[in-house]
């Protein structure tokens, strides 16, 4: 079959889009309209699918979990030539951090504190995904996560709403471009609305209890930023939010999202979530579930077929007015019209290979990985290493794992192709002997259902004898080496969906091996590959150099080697605190003060069995150079409610190599209608400075930075109160000033 290539849409005014949508709507039967609200899961794990049949009768508006350009074209042909109103399908998939060229996981991208590089990464992801025939990605994931036990922390931007909002907008711009319709972009989906990251105990899917103030001040800002950036779609979350499932939550989906924020796109459920309202103890049966979800404002049913099975009956009996159906269908058709799918429904099957071969894709991925890495420790300037080393040992089962390097959430059918850390080091040290010893294997105690979709082939657990032999072999390699690079952390399937854990320690025998290697007295560098903060207390005291490399993607191994050997200088900062223990979760810097401040002699410390403070605070990260931040200036000692205050500070590279600093601004409102957090990030900028160079950074504090949603008053407000302000290189910044907001 010869298909037209996927061209973009020609620009269309809102009026043109509306009139095309209305023309379509007026010719559609009720069954076809309900079809548009139905997303078909075309995958082996959804039994009994006959996609052609369903599509031919106009029974599907979108298809997900399929990842095959030829099949896209075949199914699209049925939709646009054989279905009653010939409406094209939207093909959707989770393209979270890259399609073929894999980028660092979203938590790592947030560690770059660089919205521009984040935007470019998602531009590349969109270009490849669209070339494969996809129109719609289920990203960005915008859930604030303050409990690192929650496995999905890897998919988001960490603990902070301000950083999260910046990363949200950047990702939407990257995926969608300036406006929907470009031939090399996709529609984005802000998910999971809302509060998913605050599940009880960090256990995935468990209920969430959050006050309106927490939701509005902490959990909503990234979602609102996505709406402002023009995101086309939203996905509702699975879990109960304050006892109402997010997928049947009218307050979230109608009052906040559409009513307050003016969102014009459509909302899709999470997978099977409409049907699962029954399982969740909210809906009586499928019919009740369809009624509750659609009435609450959920437009498209992902894969549960509950809308398809029950909406006709509900309309016919008069429980659901056709206007509600029409309103949902309009939002979906409008996206299809804006995307230009009616004019260009097909994808050229040769396009993907050309697009993936573009050299800048890999270059962007390597650059993004370098930008995202965080130097946690570097005693005695052990890093950067010399390229004249002759005998190096690389140790750790993750060091040569392509899956661990690419991280969680690979698109269906993707074959991991990353440069591993071992390969990256070998490429850098072509004249040295680089000996590799994996050491004991690590694995989850309880396997994951998601493992069946990719990753490493399933293996029997290593026997005690084999584990011990691998342990000893690693020590032999370490003894022979001048320097040891330990690559430890978590496998890709240890974070992500359904991948929560109670402990945040290094899994398996990794710390035991680390201790044994350090005891040999050789210089040791620890490279961490992981998708969440880990409690690496022993390493933080005893290993001189620690690089947090996250799950760095296709070019990850090269990027790690670039940093280790000084071809790139680390400049990332933690987007989430590293705790001393998993049982300290949730832990976040922007806590409220208390009547008994931590560290005061009165009363007791927060725990009597150790410090509750983070091992590494939010915003923390070192460089190969040093910086000083001085000359903090505020445009006026007072600012009127509603006005803008300008803050400047100078940052100087005081070391001998060029490097990046992320200058961060935090505020604290001393009193007010509600208690306010002891610190809140309200500005940041990542700058590159040559040795001796100084730059002046300018921040603006206006009503959106100085206001908040008050529980006491029940609305957004700005108090006329005194504020503290700090500018520095992490959330413990000490350079201080004060100002007041006045009426
Ligand atoms: C996840 C979503 C994802 C969806 C579709 C669900 O299990 O929670 O994040 O987009 O599946 O694959």
- Residues 384-400 pLDDT 10s: 999 999 999 999 999 99
Question: Tokens 């303050």 correspond to what residue?
Answer: 146
Is residue 618 scored above 70 in pLDDT?
yes
**Is 603 exposed, middle or buried (CB count within 10 Å of its CB: 0-12, 13-18, 19+)?**
exposed
Closest approach atom of ligand 1 to CA 191: 9
Is residue 5 scored above 90 in pLDDT?
no
Going by CA atoms, what residue is nearest to atom 2 of ligand 1?
Answer: 270
Is residue 11 scored above 90 in pLDDT?
no
User: Where are the strands (E) in 304-408, listed by range?
Assistant: 374-378, 391-395
528 band by pLDDT with thresholds 50, 70 and 90: very high
- In this prediction, residue 6 carries a pLDDT of 63
DSSP H or E stretch at residue 443: none
Question: Tokens 């001796």 correspond to what residue?
Answer: 692
Is residue 460 scored above 90 in pLDDT?
no
Decide if 660 is catalytic: no
pTM metric for this prediction: 0.98
Region for 122 from its dihedrals, namely left if φ exceeds 0, alpha if ψ lies in -120 to 50, beta otherwise: alpha
Q: How far apart are CA 219 and CA 160, in angstroms?
A: 9
| First-last CA distance in the chain | 70
* Mean of per-residue pLDDT scores for the chain: 96
Q: Decide whether any atom of ligand 1 lies within 6 Å of the 191 Cβ.
A: yes
Is residue 2 scored above 60 in pLDDT?
no
Mean pLDDT throughout 645-649? Answer: 98
C-beta separation of 721 from 710 below 8 A: no
CB atoms within 10 A of CB 520: 12
Distance 128 CA to ligand 1 centre (A): 20
DSSP H or E stretch at residue 56: helix 51-56
Distance 619 CA to ligand 1 centre (A): 29
Closest approach atom of ligand 1 to CA 238: 8
Q: Decide whether any atom of ligand 1 lies within 6 Å of the 152 Cβ.
A: no
Is residue 3 scored above 70 in pLDDT?
no
Closest approach atom of ligand 1 to CA 302: 5
Q: Decide whether any atom of ligand 1 lies within 6 Å of the 138 Cβ.
A: yes
pLDDT top residue among 450 and 480: 480
CB atoms within 10 A of CB 444: 14
Going by CA atoms, what residue is nearest to atom 12 of ligand 1?
Answer: 94
Distance 139 CA to ligand 1 centre (A): 10
Going by CA atoms, what residue is nearest to atom 11 of ligand 1?
Answer: 271
Q: Decide whether any atom of ligand 1 lies within 6 Å of the 193 Cβ.
A: no
Among 131-140, 247-256, 404-413, name the one with the lowest average pLDDT: 404-413
Q: Which domains does the chain have, with CATH numbers?
A: 14-91+321-334 (no CATH), 369-584 (3.40.50.1700), 627-742 (2.60.40.10)
Q: Decide whether any atom of ligand 1 lies within 6 Å of the 94 Cβ.
A: yes
311 band by pLDDT with thresholds 50, 70 and 90: very high
Q: How far apart are CA 655 and CA 625, in angstroms?
A: 5
The pLDDT tens digits of the residues spanning 723-735 come to 999 999 999 999 9
Going by CA atoms, what residue is nearest to atom 5 of ligand 1?
Answer: 271
The residue annotated as part of the active site, out of 94, 114, 143, 270, is 270
Q: Decide whether any atom of ligand 1 lies within 6 Å of the 488 Cβ.
A: no
- In this prediction, residue 1 carries a pLDDT of 35
Is residue 4 scored above 60 in pLDDT?
no
Mean pLDDT throughout 648-669? Answer: 98
Is residue 373 scored above 60 in pLDDT?
yes
Q: Decide whether any atom of ligand 1 lies within 6 Å of the 271 Cβ.
A: yes
Q: Decide whether any atom of ligand 1 lies within 6 Å of the 103 Cβ.
A: no
Q: Decide whether any atom of ligand 1 lies within 6 Å of the 686 Cβ.
A: no
Among 216-230, 593-607, 706-720, name the one with the lowest average pLDDT: 593-607
599 band by pLDDT with thresholds 50, 70 and 90: confident
- In this prediction, residue 260 carries a pLDDT of 98
- In this prediction, residue 602 carries a pLDDT of 73
Is residue 499 scored above 70 in pLDDT?
yes
Distance 446 CA to ligand 1 centre (A): 20
């Amino acid at each position: 079959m010869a298909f037209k290539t996927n061209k973009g849409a020609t620009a269309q005014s809102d009026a043109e889009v509306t009139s095309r949508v209305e023309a379509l709507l007026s010719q559609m039967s009720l069954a076809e309209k309900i079809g548009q609200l139905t997303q078909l899961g075309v995958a082996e794990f959804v039994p009994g699918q006959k996609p052609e049949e369903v599509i031919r009768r106009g029974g599907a508006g979108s298809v997900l979990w399929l990842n095959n350009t030829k099949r896209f074209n075949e199914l699209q042909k049925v939709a646009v030539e054989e279905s009653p109103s010939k409406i094209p399908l939207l093909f959707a998939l989770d393209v979270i951090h890259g399609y073929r060229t894999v980028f660092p996981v979203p938590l790592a991208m947030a560690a770059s504190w660089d919205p521009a590089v984040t935007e470019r990464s998602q531009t590349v992801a969109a270009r490849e995904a669209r070339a494969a025939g996809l129109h719609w990605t289920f990203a960005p994931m915008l859930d604030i996560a303050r409990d690192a036990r929650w496995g999905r922390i890897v998919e988001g931007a960490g603990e902070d709403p301000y950083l999260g909002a910046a990363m949200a907008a950047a990702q939407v711009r990257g995926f969608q471009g300036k406006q929907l319709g470009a031939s090399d972009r996709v529609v984005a989906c802000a998910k999971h609305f809302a509060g998913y990251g605050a599940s009880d105990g960090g256990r995935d899917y468990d209920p969430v209890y959050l006050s309106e103030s927490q939701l509005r001040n902490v959990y909503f800002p990234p979602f609102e930023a996505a709406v402002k950036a023009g995101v086309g779609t939203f996905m509702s979350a699975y879990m109960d939010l304050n006892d109402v499932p997010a997928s049947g939550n009218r307050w979230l989906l109608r009052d906040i999202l559409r009513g307050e924020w003016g969102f014009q796109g459509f909302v899709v459920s999470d997978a099977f979530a409409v049907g699962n309202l029954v399982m969740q103890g909210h809906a009586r049966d499928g019919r009740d579930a369809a009624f509750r979800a659609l009435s609450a404002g959920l437009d498209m049913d992902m894969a549960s077929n509950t809308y398809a099975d029950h909406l006709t009956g509900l309309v016919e009996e008069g429980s659901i007015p056709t206007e509600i159906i029409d309103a949902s269908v309009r939002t979906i058709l409008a996206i299809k019209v804006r995307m230009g799918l009616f004019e260009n429904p097909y994808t050229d099957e040769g396009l993907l290979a050309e697009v993936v071969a573009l050299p800048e894709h890999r270059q962007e991925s390597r650059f993004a990985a370098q930008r995202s890495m965080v130097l946690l420790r570097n005693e005695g300037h052990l890093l950067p290493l010399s390229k004249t080393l002759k005998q190096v040992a690389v140790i750790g089962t993750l060091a040569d794992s392509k899956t661990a390097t690419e991280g969680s959430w690979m698109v269906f059918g993707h074959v991991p192709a990353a440069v591993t850390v071992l390969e990256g080091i070998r490429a850098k040290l072509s004249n040295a002997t680089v000996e590799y010893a994996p050491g004991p294997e690590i694995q989850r105690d309880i396997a994951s259902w998601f493992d069946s979709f990719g990753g490493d082939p399933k293996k029997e657990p290593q026997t005690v004898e084999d584990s011990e032999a691998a342990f000893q072999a690693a020590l032999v390699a370490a003894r022979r080496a001048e320097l040891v690079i330990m690559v430890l952390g978590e496998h890709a399937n240890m974070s992500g969906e359904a991948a929560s854990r109670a402990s945040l320690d290094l899994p398996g025998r990794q710390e035991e091996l680390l201790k044994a290697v350090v005891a040999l007295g050789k210089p040791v560098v620890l490279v961490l590959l992981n998708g969440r903060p880990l409690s690496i207390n022993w390493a933080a005291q005893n290993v001189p150099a620690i690089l947090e490399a996250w799950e760095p993607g296709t070019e990850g191994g090269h990027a790690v080697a670039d940093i280790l050997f000084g071809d790139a200088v680390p400049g990332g900062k933690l987007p989430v605190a590293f705790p001393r223990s998993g049982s300290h979760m949730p832990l976040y810097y922007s806590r409220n003060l208390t009547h008994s401040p931590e560290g005061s002699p009165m009363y007791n410390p927060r725990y009597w069995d150790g410090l509750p403070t983070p091992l590494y605070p939010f915003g923390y990260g070192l460089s190969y150079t040093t910086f000083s931040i001085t000359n903090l200036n505020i445009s006026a000692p007072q600012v009127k409610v509603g006005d803008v205050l300008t803050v400047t500070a100078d940052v100087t590279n005081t070391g001998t190599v060029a490097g990046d600093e992320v200058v961060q601004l935090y505020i604290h409102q001393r009193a007010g209608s509600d208690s306010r957090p002891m610190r809140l990030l309200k500005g940041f900028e990542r700058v590159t400075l040559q040795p001796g160079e100084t730059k002046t950074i300018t921040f603006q504090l206006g009503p959106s930075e100085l206001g908040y949603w008050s529980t006491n008053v029940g609305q957004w407000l700005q108090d006329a109160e005194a504020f503290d302000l700090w500018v520095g290189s992490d959330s413990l910044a000490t350079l201080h000033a004060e100002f007041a907001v006045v009426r």
